[in-house]
Structures are given as C-alpha cells and as structure tokens.
Amino acid sequence: MMKFGLFMLPCFREGVSGSLADFYDEMSELVAVADDTGWDRIWVSEHHFHYYGGATPNPAVQLAAWARETRNIRLGPAISLTPLRNPLHIAEDYAVVDQLSGGRLNFGVGRGYLPHEFDGHNLDPDAVSAMREEGFGIIRRAWSGETFAHDGKHYSFPKLRLHPLPKQAEVPIWAAASRTRDSFDWAAKNGFNIMMNQYPMTPEEARERFGWYLEGWKAAGHAEGTHEAMMSVFLHIADTEEQAIAEATRAVQEHANLFRLLFSGDQWNEDYAGDESVFEFLAPDGDLTRLFRERTCIGTAEQVIERIARYRDWGFTEMSFITRTGELSQELALDTMWRFNDEVAPAFREKAAAE
C-alpha cells in the first residue's frame, strides 16, 4: 500500500505569513488535517542560519509539540543532521519525542550538504560522512539502554547510560541520500529505509540512484521488497495543469533558487525570489511544463495519480509532499490537501483494499 506523508521545510520570511508565530500555527493546522484524514507521516527538516528551512533548527522541538497535538500520525526529522550536534543530545531529544508521541517516532538521519551550515559549525565537509556514521552508531547504542563508554575519532565520553529511552524497542530508521553513492550504499548495507528528494534531479537520475540502493540492499542479503522508500515532491492540485503551474511557479522558483545558491556557498545572495535563471538551469530546453511534470506533483488530480503510480512502479512505498512554501499560501496548501484526500488518495487506498 502506498503511504503518504507531509514534508515540512519551514521557510519563513516576511510576507509568507503574518508572523513567525502565525507560521508555526499554520504548520500545526496542516499537521492536524493530515492526522485527522489518515496521512501516514509528518516529516520536518533541520536547517540552520538561513531563511531556507531555518524555522526548525532542532526538529525535535517542533516534533515534541506535534506529538501532543496529534493522535495517530507518525513523526520524524527529515533529517537529523547528526554531524552538527552532540549525538548523545540527539539521542536524548528524540527519545523524548518518542515518549511524548506514544511511540510514533521515525528517525531520519543524514550528513547534510550546505556549506554555510558546515562553516557555521566549524566542520570539515570531508569529515561529515564519517561523523554521521560514528555519531549514529552512538545514538543507536544509547537507545538500546546499554551502559557504555566511547572513544572514537570524532566523539569520546566516559561510561554512561541514556535517560530517558525511547518508548519503541526499535525506532524505524530512514537515511537520506541524494548525490553520493556512499550514502545509498551505507543505508542499504545497514538495512535502513531510504528517503530522496525529486526536485534537485531528473527522473533518470532519481531512478538510477534509487537503483544503487536496491542493488546494495540485495547485496547485503536483505529480503527483497522489505525496504521502505520515500520520495519527496512538491504537491499542488488545481482544476487545470495550467492553473496549477501558474499558482506554484513562484514558490518552486524561490525554493530551487535557495537550494542552488546555498549549495554553491552563496548564502548572502537574497535574490532567490526574483532570479528566474534557475529555470534555465533546471529546464535548459525552456520546457517548463515538462519540468513540472517530471519533478513535481503539480497539476490536476489525475496527473498527480499518474505520477504517484510511476514512483510506486519504481519501488517507492511512500510519497511525502511539500504543500506549503513561499507563495504557496496556507489557503492553497489546505485546498490541495483536501483535494488530495478526496480525489487522489482513494485511487491508492481502494486499490490496496481490493488486493
């Protein structure tokens, strides 16, 4: 059965909402709709020192609030940037989230990729993959309830035992991967679920890289078909494709520009909203409609169904949707979520029930 999640990349700036407090309330409203209407997961990103996702520098804080505001939906960071924090503090924070939610935590882990975040934390980008692996090993040992000491390359501490522990005996683990094969191989070797983002890559690149994961999963001896895999995309539904693209273009443009500028280390450039050259980069042939069809779920309900089916056929088990960002307003996000519930989700839930 295809699962559906809400992906929060909290980008607050003046004009996005009345105030930052209002923005937090609006996110909670979207989460409540997802929880009440049978969505499977809420994911929230971690970012630092910038408008791009910077409203949740520690996702555990936001998830702790949602843990008390929801009843059924599972909650997780997408992702916890483990090299940027003491792994023992990460283990503590998310153990609290699991307890407050009654055991609904899914833990997304990754290394990060933005130069200004590494610089701000005084980290060597060449060391973060090793830090992710060492730090995550500490988190899992701590969650097991073991009393242990650690003396590693990046972290060391005397004998201790974590308190509190998660409510779940085994917290489901999701690893983020995008560009480097080592991330896909690391996730597959360890039997972790995988999460990807479509918009930075072409469908061909996405399918090839997901194939790396499936190859690694098989090579590691894991049973075929036992993985879970999530693809994150923009979601916006309208009566026509032209209307959907017109309403979402500015938001996608801003988002893609933010990603491009920050990835290149140009975090002080604030022309991410007005610079349309990002579309020349993403769609060098000038075909914006094709770009939206290949990298988003922006269109009519029928088109969204077709695109979700494509990912399902590739082997993905979950779609996670960005519905609220930039000029995709709260009103538009809520309308899209209700239309998704009424016009898209039944196509997959009814099929699963029939099977």
* Cα 188 versus chain centre, distance: 18
Handedness of CA 317, 203, 54, 114 (dihedral sign): positive
Rounded Cα distance, 340 and 298, in Å? 11
**What is the value of pTM for the model shown?**
0.93
Number of domains in the chain: 1
Quick check: is 284 in a domain?
no
Among 74-83, 180-189, 294-303, 329-338, where is mean pLDDT lowest? 180-189
Give the chain's mean pLDDT.
Answer: 93
Quick check: is 199 in a domain?
yes
Mean pLDDT calculated for residue range 120-128: 95
| CATH number of the domain that residue 234 is part of | 3.20.20.30
Residue 274 has what pLDDT? 65
Quick check: is 265 in a domain?
no
Residue 352 has what pLDDT? 58
Are 46 and 81 in contact, with CB atoms under 8 Å apart?
yes
Mean pLDDT calculated for residue range 205-230: 95
Cα 26 to Cα 18, 149, 193, 249, 332: the distances in Å are 10, 43, 29, 21, 12
| pLDDT over threshold 90, residue 254 | no
Rounded Cα distance, 264 and 37, in Å? 39
Which pair of tokens denotes residue 241? Answer: 């494709």
- Domain of residue 118 covers 3-248+297-354
Q: What confidence tier does 351 reach under pLDDT thresholds 50, 70, 90? A: low
CB-based contacts of 222, cutoff 8 Å, min separation 6: 188, 191
Tell me which amino acid residue 349 is: R
Quick check: is 274 in a domain?
no
Residue 217 has what pLDDT? 97
Mean pLDDT calculated for residue range 95-108: 98
| Burial tier of 123 (Cβ tally within 10 Å: 0-12, 13-18, 19+) | middle
Are 45 and 79 in contact, with CB atoms under 8 Å apart?
yes
Query: Which residues are registered as beta bridge partners of 156?
Result: 151
Query: pLDDT digit string (tens) for 257-309?
Result: 888 888 888 888 777 666 777 777 677 677 889 989 999 999 999 999 999 99
Quick check: is 266 in a domain?
no
Quick check: is 292 in a domain?
no
| pLDDT over threshold 80, residue 139 | yes
Quick check: is 270 in a domain?
no
Are 71 and 143 in contact, with CB atoms under 8 Å apart?
no
